[in-house]
Structure 1
Amino acid sequence: MTQMYADIILPFPLDTPFTYSIPASLVQSVVPGTRVEVSFRNKVYTGVVVAIHDKAPATYKVKSILSVPDEYPLVDSSQLNLWKWMADYYLCTMGEVFNAAVPAFFKLGSETIITEKPDSTVNDQDLDDKEFLIKEALSLQHELSVQDIRQILGQNTVQPILKRLLTKGVIAIREEIKGGYKPRVVKQLKLGSLYREEEALQAVFETLNKAVKQQHALMVYYQLAPDFQPVNKAMLLRKAAVSPAVIKAMLDKGIFEEVELEVSRILKSDTRKAEKSMLTSPQLEALDSTLKQLQQKEVVLLHGVTGSGKTEIYLELMESIVREGKQVLYLLPEIALTAQIIHRLKERFGAIAGVYHSKFNHSERIEIWQAVKEKKYQVILGARSALLLPFADLGLVIVDEEHDYSFKQQDPAPRYHARDTAIYLARSAGAKTILGTATPSVESYFNARSGKYGYVELTERYAGMQMPDTQLVDMKQRNGKKKELHFTNDLLENIQRAKEQHQQVILFQNRRGYSPYIVCSQCGWSPQCANCDVHMVYHKAKDELRCHYCGFRQDTYHECPACSSTQLLIQGFGTEKVEDELQLQFPDLKIARLDMDAVKTKTGHERIIQDFEEGLVDVLVGTQMVTKGLDFDNVSLVGILSADQLLNFPDFRASERGYQLMMQVSGRAGRKHRQGKVLIQATNTRHPVLQYIIQHDRHAFYAEELEQRKKFLYPPFVRLIQITLKHKFQDRSLNAGYAFVQALGRIAGCEILGPVTPGIARIRGKYRSEILIKATTGALKTIKQKIRSSRKSTLSIKQFQSVEIVVDVDPV
């Protein structure tokens, strides 16, 4: 029989797969996509098979696959093709994609725990020598891991023996993962079996006359479970307001019995489906146009103004796909958005709708992974990482807020853009893609207007609601003490008016913390991060300084360490300061903050948003989290506190990004019942972007932006690749950059800029140099090949071997 080999990827940044031999006993079990355990550098790791062949590697001694943990392949060929495309396009390795795509559970070395079945009736004479040896070892140690059995038998391949013992009923097998998945178990209480008759229950109530707390706990239990069904222990403790000691005493007396119930970690919902909303005439026209264009185009851009009801159109499209028995992936840029929309999906689709994002723990990810693979979920709502799930039959991908920069993965690799990857995923699955937004990315707008994508426009708000009244407020008009505040008189007066009318307010400041830096008024000293070339940001709540690049923290200064002056000034402002100052102006308003500092847990976004929806919060202060597709009925006023900060940024995308953020947050105003108002505070009120915003002239903005991009050669007219070289010594980083550029040489259709030292030269203790490559579409394949070879040649130079080289395709 011909010896077969498997190419296996491991969850590391290795340039190529490693080849392992397939033991004869595992030939039938090993196919592409199979999860296998292998020895690598004297440790056991889990990898995935990507190819099978009969050619032994010529450069190293081949090792054997140790085991196959699963009965079925972990991933299918379509997922492997997606992983390969991502590795090729984004210039990373398949191991890095594997590491990002698969829950940690599937990447750990698994230990199969073997136990002896106590009711086994097999005679020892019916076992061969190796089977008998395992049975004897189990009678002494009760349980053994696969590794233990390998050592007892002195061989690596033990699965056939274990399979025979399992078939004969000698052993039981359970899979354990060190540090991995365990089912979620909740403790519940039920009434003891002796007290379920009415007379016995009455008697036990009487015996507890002197144990008042126990009697009260029993009464609460009976109110919660009149039919004596199990009640959640934590809920009973909370409802009865008693200590765990009270419940323990009742357990000891046999009044309660404790049971453990295995439950899913995934959000449960009512399986009943809500009534569908009636679509307006503009929505029906947009839906009809979308369906027609999807017949000719793989991708359609749905360009609808804020509040136009794009989500209802998505739901109609999703329902048609679900009726065909296929799956739908609904991507959103922020976890905060999933909290609000998941409830709408659950109402519409019931139990077949699920949610997936990075805030879920490993155990929850496994459950969702399996549910998607087994098609228990037909509708999946998620952030960026959801597109890497193992879809069984994908029919539609919706990328909502497609313009959002959160769709781009930054660190670690793969540095993929979820929008572009979703388009490839849908195309490879024979599915269609909908890109939806009120403010398309310049690239998507260009693709749609040039005919590459379909284009559908919604120009009216739902139910004829007017667009918000948008006004510019000149910050230079502040005078006297008002200059110390970050609110103009117009903004304060409108907040007061909203308060009197019991309306809500959103204030947008795209900078978290209290103050971006503090400075000594005597000598000009300002605290710098120990690891990065940036100012430390002051956070008042904990009276500490933080670096927003590396996370370094330290206590704040109360006197200048350079000149001992106590005159330290707080410069600039962030969301924390806005919240603080606004509370001083309006002491009786309930103010909440939505930013990275305020949201610490998986449900933190949901809690803040729910409080705002329910009217428990009057004013919501936030960073760009408040700009992204949230739908609030009672918001009458939106204030943008510093438009200049958004527009005066040294980046060719500054105008696009500022326009998108301000248009999106403006769209939160007046979505229901009445016209909203937007006040944009700015010093340069004549900025062209601000004029486009107040006139709601989106097409003019994109025309101007495309003209500038074409003139100076930026996307969508070229593709960008940024290469960052990092080292603890600045000269080493810069010289490695020169070596890299020299290795690249001249390439037709490409302009290579750099290396240069960026504005922030050092981050996390490493100095950076950057190279920017502008490439035409025709030159993209060639330049990518050159980048891979130049990376290898640069790192082969002894003095640059410790330089970290990061390649970012389509940076944002």
Structure 2
Amino acid sequence: MKYVNVAIDNNNDNTDNLYTYGLDSEEISIGSKVLVPFARGNKLKNAYVFDIMDSVQEEIKGLKYVNSVDEEICLSKEMIDTCKWMRKRYLCRYIDAVNCFTPVGKPAKSGKKRVPYKDMEGEECSVKNLTEEQDNALRIIKPYISEKKHDIFLIHGVTGSGKTEIYIRLIDSALKNGSNAILMVPEISLTTQVIERFIGRFGQDKIAVLHSRLSLGERYDEWVRIRRGQVRIVIGARSAVFAPLENIGIIIMDEEHESTYKSDMSPKYDTLEVAVKRAKAFEGVVVLGSATPSVISAYRAEQGIYKKIELKQRYNQIALPQVEIVDMREELKLGNKSIFSSALYSGMQKCLEEGQQIILFLNRRGYSTFVSCRECGYVMKCNECGISLTYHKAENAAICHYCGKMEPLPKVCPECGSKYIRHFGTGTEKVEEYTLNMFPDYSAARLDLDTIKVKGSIDKILRDFKKGKTKILIGTQLVAKGLDFKNVGMVGIISADVILNIPDYRAAERTFQLITQAAGRAGRGDKEGKVVIQTYNAEHYSIEAAADQDYDRLYNTELFLRKSMLYPPFSDIVQIIVIAKNQQVCIEGAQKTMKAVQGELSKELSEHIFEPQPLLLNNQKEHYRYYILIKCPKGRRAECLSVIEKIKRKVNTGKKLQYTLTVDINPY
């Protein structure tokens, strides 16, 4: 007889342990999904095998036995090892980590396989001549793939430098070496363009797609195809890092700097860390690509942790676009109160007359950004989430962008009764309306979370723009990332200040990245492109650096500031979140937690704990949230987390549970 340790599929900290069961059957392996009798009622529960043992140290009284084994769902030992690592690194439950690897959905009743993108025709891929820089990148990385030598590479290549062609050839090299590959992109909107190119090069049979916009059935069937070894390449958003592939030779993270690679749901994992963990298990390589690497990645490359490769020229020697900064304060002085500066309007007019297309970028959806009373200053807020509501003209309602709650627009102020209540600010919906008024002879479309709710809508919007049916594309950060359209002659950044003014130590870095990425959509064809940046902070170093395409200036300034303030890469930010239904209980719980952590940590670490503060989304889903921030100097993370884990477990498994704790490491 053998014994197994299993993690029970139960969403509760009290059962977040490994339980030992007896095993009569030999048909089982680490990672098997099993049914086991659990707790006093012996109710059958799903569980996953973490260990198999020939014996146990002490006889177990009342030993229970595995009831049955699911032959379809089985994880590998490498996946289970990754789950164990995730639990320790992110302080999550066993089952939360396991659920990252397991499929959602169910088998199709008809037996037919639901294959996403099955009707997609691959983009015709004539094999391109490589630039000297591309060839050099391949010469450096390929030997690591063929020799199965794990390492991490950072490709810092300007927009349009041909990073995707490098990815294709590296994956081809891995496949020829008998290995498999994962390619991740930060936005689902980018997957279609990427998939078209990869189908054109490798054929559809070798490729699987994983992202959250697939139906549950499609995701289940793709998971099964991958697990059975029927595909060699997995393409998707961050969840693709958990694809059940064996023998992974390369994992590529395109646009590695993007915040979407950090999960904000349990387990709150960092995709890059998981990618490195999984690749290392197979001696595979990790390739990070970006025109605007995160400050942390650039620092790691400088320290020799990553191997850095630079691509300084655009493919075919196309010039980077001309960039003009427009100070909107000066526009106001000249009497221009419209959304478009004179430079942006005249540039758009010229561009359209020459038959080219335009992208307008504003990282704020909706019509107006908030609803307020000019008499008393009242601002409409979501009573579920505590944040200001955004006015949407199409619905004629104020909507919460977090929980989706919709409120009718009041005719008078609910606070003072004044009739002077109206919507203020500008979102993509208003920009679209204004654009169509200013350029009625040209078609425009909007790409944001409001226009892509229907399945397939992203693909249609981008397809129409690619074919030239749409002349002006207006959108949020979805339009700033990775899109490759040859006829875009101009990019207009409506307000560079939206990201700059958020309360985040990365605000300047993210502003630089979004401007540079958006600007990179212009001039990718034969003609030089133009970019107009509108801002009320024309002298800010991140905006000036983005206009000059001067990454080094941004990097050096940020590194100096972060070192002085002990921000990453010189520390790990640990956020302990206290959640309770009652606000006073939440505040008191946060104070107790802070004191408990201070009492356990060394004096040096205790100096870097900050007083509890309400989260930006404080009152969400009828729960209040306060957080305690700890700056852990590099090398002290394990010490800090061991203390927090002990306190978290004590609180979350307590009999009189008034509040709970969650932990987010280096949150976005």
Q: Is the 8 A contact 1:10 1:17 kept in 2?
A: no
Say whether 1:85 aligns with 2:11. Answer: no
Say whether 1:805 aligns with 2:661. Answer: yes
Q: How many Å apart are 1:678 and its aligned residue? A: 0.6
Aligned partner of 1:346 in structure 2 is: 199
CA distance in 2, matches of 1:796, 1:281: 59
Q: Is the 8 A contact 2:8 2:45 kept in 1?
A: no
Aligned partner of 1:192 in structure 2 is: none
CA distance in 2, matches of 1:668, 1:696: 14
CA distance in 2, matches of 1:5, 1:424: 25
Q: Is the 8 A contact 2:107 2:221 kept in 1?
A: no
Larger Rg: 1
User: Per-residue displacement from partner, 1:418-474 (whole Å, max 9, x unpaired)?
Assistant: 122111111112100100000001111001111111010000011000011011001
Q: Which amino acid aligns with 2:660?
A: E
Q: Indicate how the Cα distance of structure 1 residues 92 and 759 shifts in structure 2: closer, same or farther if over 3 A, else same.
A: closer
Q: Indicate how the Cα distance of structure 1 residues 624 and 728 shifts in structure 2: closer, same or farther if over 3 A, else same.
A: same
Out of 793, 797, 801, the position equivalent to 2:650 is 793
Q: Which region of structure 1 is more displaced relative to structure 2, 335-344 or 576-585?
A: 576-585
Aligned partner of 2:634 in structure 1 is: 777
SS of 1:478's equivalent in the other structure is helix
Q: Which region of structure 1 is more displaced relative to structure 2, 14-23 or 746-755?
A: 14-23
Q: Which amino acid aligns with 1:766?
A: H
CA distance in 2, matches of 1:623, 1:418: 23
Q: Is the 8 A contact 1:749 1:775 kept in 2?
A: no
Q: How many Å apart are 1:495 and its aligned residue? A: 1.1
Say whether 1:612 aligns with 2:611. Answer: no
Aligned partner of 2:602 in structure 1 is: 747
Q: Is the 8 A contact 2:38 2:45 kept in 1?
A: yes
> What is the 5 A alignment of 1:355-434?
355-411=209-265, 413-434=266-287
Q: Indicate how the Cα distance of structure 1 residues 611 and 281 shifts in structure 2: closer, same or farther if over 3 A, else same.
A: same
Aligned partner of 2:56 in structure 1 is: 55
Aligned partner of 1:7 in structure 2 is: 6
Q: Which amino acid aligns with 1:283?
A: Q
Q: Which amino acid aligns with 1:266?
A: P
CA distance in 1, matches of 2:502, 2:116: 41
Q: Which amino acid aligns with 1:747?
A: S
Q: Is the 8 A contact 1:374 1:392 kept in 2?
A: no
CA distance in 1, matches of 2:312, 2:44: 58
Q: Which amino acid aligns with 1:92?
A: C
Q: Is the 8 A contact 1:627 1:665 kept in 2?
A: yes
Q: Which amino acid aligns with 1:32?
A: I
Q: Is the 8 A contact 1:521 1:568 kept in 2?
A: yes
Q: How many Å apart are 1:624 and its aligned residue? A: 0.8
Q: Which amino acid aligns with 2:667?
A: P
User: Per-residue displacement from partner, 1:596-636 (whole Å, max 9, x unpaired)?
Assistant: 11111332221111111111111111111111111111111
Q: Indicate how the Cα distance of structure 1 residues 372 and 768 shifts in structure 2: closer, same or farther if over 3 A, else same.
A: same
Where does structure 1 lack aligned partners over 5 or more consecutive residues? 106-179, 186-261
Q: How many Å apart are 1:386 and its aligned residue? A: 0.9
Q: CA-atom RMSD, angstroms?
A: 2.3
Q: Indicate how the Cα distance of structure 1 residues 65 and 469 shifts in structure 2: closer, same or farther if over 3 A, else same.
A: same
Q: Indicate how the Cα distance of structure 1 residues 510 and 271 shifts in structure 2: closer, same or farther if over 3 A, else same.
A: closer
Q: Indicate how the Cα distance of structure 1 residues 274 and 309 shifts in structure 2: closer, same or farther if over 3 A, else same.
A: closer
Q: Which amino acid aligns with 2:625?
A: R
Q: Indicate how the Cα distance of structure 1 residues 795 and 289 shifts in structure 2: closer, same or farther if over 3 A, else same.
A: closer
Q: Is the 8 A contact 2:123 2:197 kept in 1?
A: no
Q: How many Å apart are 1:725 and its aligned residue? A: 0.7
CA distance in 1, matches of 2:618, 2:219: 37
Q: Which amino acid aligns with 2:67?
A: L
Q: Which amino acid aligns with 1:501?
A: E
Q: Is the 8 A contact 1:482 1:488 kept in 2?
A: no
Q: Indicate how the Cα distance of structure 1 residues 77 and 760 shifts in structure 2: closer, same or farther if over 3 A, else same.
A: closer
Q: How many Å apart are 1:758 and its aligned residue? A: 4.1
Say whether 1:265 aligns with 2:115. Answer: yes
Aligned partner of 2:129 in structure 1 is: 278
Aligned partner of 1:257 in structure 2 is: none
SS of 2:635's equivalent in the other structure is helix
The higher relative CO (CA closer than 8 Å, separation ≥ 6) is in 2
SS of 1:499's equivalent in the other structure is helix
Q: Is the 8 A contact 1:539 1:546 kept in 2?
A: yes
CA distance in 1, matches of 2:161, 2:592: 53
Q: Indicate how the Cα distance of structure 1 residues 271 and 550 shifts in structure 2: closer, same or farther if over 3 A, else same.
A: closer
Aligned partner of 1:317 in structure 2 is: 170
Q: Which amino acid aligns with 1:75?
A: L
Aligned partner of 2:620 in structure 1 is: 763
Q: How many Å apart are 1:286 and its aligned residue? A: 2.8
Q: Indicate how the Cα distance of structure 1 residues 494 and 61 shifts in structure 2: closer, same or farther if over 3 A, else same.
A: farther
Q: How many Å apart are 1:767 and its aligned residue? A: 2.0
Aligned partner of 1:116 in structure 2 is: none
Q: Is the 8 A contact 1:297 1:454 kept in 2?
A: no
SS of 1:434's equivalent in the other structure is strand
Tell me the TM-score normalised to structure 2 length: 0.93
CA distance in 2, matches of 1:31, 1:796: 31
Out of 366, 382, 393, the position equivalent to 1:540 is 393
Q: How many Å apart are 1:490 and its aligned residue? A: 1.1
Q: How many Å apart are 1:721 and its aligned residue? A: 1.0
CA distance in 2, matches of 1:564, 1:421: 54
Q: Which amino acid aligns with 1:94?
A: Y
Q: Is the 8 A contact 2:103 2:219 kept in 1?
A: yes
Q: How many Å apart are 1:491 and its aligned residue? A: 0.8
SS of 2:411's equivalent in the other structure is coil
Q: Is the 8 A contact 2:124 2:197 kept in 1?
A: no
CA distance in 2, matches of 1:461, 1:718: 35
Pairs aligned (count): 656
SS of 1:593's equivalent in the other structure is strand
CA distance in 2, matches of 1:37, 1:57: 24
Q: Is the 8 A contact 1:356 1:382 kept in 2?
A: yes
CA distance in 2, matches of 1:60, 1:474: 76
Q: Indicate how the Cα distance of structure 1 residues 273 and 697 shifts in structure 2: closer, same or farther if over 3 A, else same.
A: closer
SS of 2:31's equivalent in the other structure is coil
CA distance in 1, matches of 2:136, 2:659: 56
CA distance in 2, matches of 1:669, 1:37: 56
Q: How many Å apart are 1:766 and its aligned residue? A: 2.2
Q: Indicate how the Cα distance of structure 1 residues 85 and 802 shifts in structure 2: closer, same or farther if over 3 A, else same.
A: same
Percent of aligned pairs with the same residue?
34
Q: Is the 8 A contact 2:492 2:531 kept in 1?
A: yes
CA distance in 1, matches of 2:231, 2:652: 46
Where does structure 2 lack aligned partners over 5 or more consecutive residues? none
